[in-house]
Amino acid sequence: MTELIPQPRSVAVGSGEVRLTKRSKLYAGDATEGVGNWMRTALQQATGLPLHEGRELDDARDGGIGLQLDDALGPEEYRLVSDSNGVFIEGGSPAGVFWGAQTLRQLLGPDAYRRAPLDRGRTWAVPHLTIQDSPRFRWRGLMLDVARHFMPKEGVLRYLDLMAAHKLNVFHFHLTDDQGWRVQINRYPKLTEIGSWRARTKFGHRASPLWDDKPHGGFYTQDDIREIVAYAAERHITVIPEIDVPGHSQAAIAAYPELGNTDVITASIEGGNSLSVWDNWGINPNVLAPTDNTLRFYEGVFEELLELFPSEFIHVGGDECLKDQWKQSPTAQARIAELGLADEDELQSWFIGHFDKWLSARGRRLVGWDEILEGGLADGAVVSSWRGYEGGITAARAGHDVVMCPEQYVYLDWRQAPGEDEPVPIAHVRTLEDVYRFEPVPEQLSEAEARHVLGTQANVWTEVMEDHARVDYQTFPRLAAFAEVAWSALPAPGERDFADFERRMTAHYARLDALGVAYRPPTGPLPWQRRPGVLGRPKDGPPPRA
């Protein structure tokens, strides 16, 4: 079972195997105790073996497992050695040891991913080999949108496990949008009392005539968030929250109308009633008012978030902010004049820049989608380059750090194949091979500029994903290909051995089956995965160049 994903840097295979038995012990050296606890729990439930705690490294030398640090290795680097003495994993940090533990689990076979043993009498063996491995990028991310369709806490924890199994280490948690506010803020209770629920939901693309008239919503309490962050930390995953400003904010405005452009917004609402949480998809014209009241309000939101999320980075959105209301708003125009700004783009830059300075003063770094480049980029901001490579190239050349997530390659809501069987088909076709041939570092960057590419991220937008099975279908197996791109030192896209990746995926599908992942089969969707008659938005031909 050396069909590993993501592909390690080097594998040297020997001629024997280590058999785990009831006598096998698991030793976890200093600072690796957390990894040892995770491994013992995961393997005990799958194998039924007790894996008693070893007191010293020698306890692992009789068919056991030993974990320890090696300062000579890089921060996430690991070495896995399986020989006549046992199985030993050394890492440059606890994270490195943890990634080695993930590799060991793959080596044990797909049944190592089950939650109960299928056969207590079976043999569990690890082939003799030596693996040397380390990641290409420090940021290997997955963005999950829980604002459009809420995913209960248990589903989020499950996705953290799936990320860990693929050696992904950044969970971008998209918590707010026009269609819902998903995190409890104590000082502003209406954000969840009102903003977390919508009366109905468009089923399919916004052109679809279909509606689900059942109210939809939900939110995470602050204790839920603490649990999610702690669960992720045990798996060496950083959770980065996203609170959208100044666009994608109708749910917040529905809860607190004074956040909107009240001098123009009522004219666009039938009967002059207040806005409700949006029940449709697309780019919403209702954006935050650029007032001191709005700034103070969101400072209060971020103050509570900083207590919940210890991550270095905080994402503030900044994308798809329509400027029509600002153009019509006397208040917004007065603010532009007061600040001496040229236009509404510079007004958005001022808005984002305010929170860049506010977060920097508290030891955090702002991340935003590449629209934050428009009107001038805030000092210290990190750019998530989603509209292709251009935003990332511009930011890197200006000395800003970048996360590459161009929609043409890593937007996993895009359809996976042509044909009418694909459920709610969105945008262009992006196959498993297309994702595998994605290159995060643009060739236009110099070596020095390329160092600003922190890494890469796949994004899962859930407008047309009503439950976790739809999320699974869109995300897998393409996330496995993305994980290899983010972790492994692959050759240039045209030189990558996709046939070998497909061969290794044959084994990996069995792991996903054991984990209960409702992935898209290579032969196409199963009957229950289809959504006949539900309109999507398919686009023909190859996507525009990234």
The residues annotated as belonging to the active site are 177, 248, 320
Q: How far apart are CA 446 and CA 454, in angstroms?
A: 15
Listing DSSP states for 310-321 in one string gives: --SEEEEE--S-
Q: How far apart are CA 454 and CA 441, in angstroms?
A: 10
User: Phi-psi category of 178—alpha, beta or left, where left has phi over 0 and alpha has psi -120 to 50?
Assistant: alpha
- Looking at the DSSP bridge assignments, the partners of residue 172 are 143, 240
Q: Calculate the dihedral angle through the C-alpha atoms of 249, 253, 254, 256, rounding to the nearest 10 degrees.
A: 140
Q: How far apart are CA 334 and CA 136, in angstroms?
A: 48
Q: From start to end of 121-249, where are the E strands?
A: 124-133, 139-145, 170-174, 176-177, 180-181, 197-198, 201-202, 211-212, 216-217, 238-245
Q: 394 and 443 in contact (C-beta within 8 Å)?
A: no
The secondary structure of the chain in percent helix, strand, coil, rounded to multiples of 5, reads: 35, 20, 45
Q: How far apart are CA 336 and CA 316, in angstroms?
A: 21
- Look at residue 107 and give its three-state secondary structure: helix
Q: How far apart are CA 432 and CA 478, in angstroms?
A: 5
Task: Sort strands 537-538 and 176-177 into parallel, antiparallel or unpaired.
Answer: unpaired
Would you state the structure tokens that stand for residue 378, as one six-digit string?
Answer: 């805030």
Output the CA–CA distances (angstroms, integers) from residue 164 to 53, 405, 423, 453, 483, in the order listed. Answer: 23, 19, 27, 22, 10
Unique residue bearing structure tokens 């439950």: 467
Unique residue bearing structure tokens 């009498």: 121
Among candidates 106, 110, 150, 84, which has minimal Cα distance to 462? 150
Task: Sort strands 382-385 and 365-369 into parallel, antiparallel or unpaired.
Answer: parallel
Q: Which residues contact 314 (CB under 8 A, 6 or more apart)?
A: 240, 241, 243, 302, 305, 306, 359, 364, 365, 366, 367
- Looking at the DSSP bridge assignments, the partners of residue 62 are none
Three-state SS letters, 431-457? CHHHHHCCCCCCCCCCHHHHCCEEEEE
Q: Positive or negative, the Cα torsion across 456, 103, 6, 464?
A: negative
